[in-house]
Structure 1
């Protein structure tokens, strides 16, 4: 019983800490940069490059 209460208290405290940040980020103004070391290197990355360029152009307009 004590362990389950401790787990519940920890989860609630982490939720409170995570949701208490007042800083808001305007996602519409941010430019998303794709990092190729996330697994988009090599042939897969080369295949997706044209799509990324189109998405960037659409985002700018």
Structure 2
């Protein structure tokens, strides 16, 4: 019998901050806020991913 893999739960990462002066970042941050307010947490996650992957702004 094999052991089931153990998973370590970690607290979620802090949401990415929009880069000041970037219109695309501001739009994504606004969409994320609206999605959070309406309970659309899938869209919140999508906005976070897009903010983290925004060209020229880090990872």
Q: Give the TM-score category using the shorter length.
A: 0.3 to 0.5
TM-score by length of 2: 0.33
Higher-Rg structure is 1
TM-score by length of 1: 0.32
Higher relative contact order (CA 8 A, sep 6+): 2
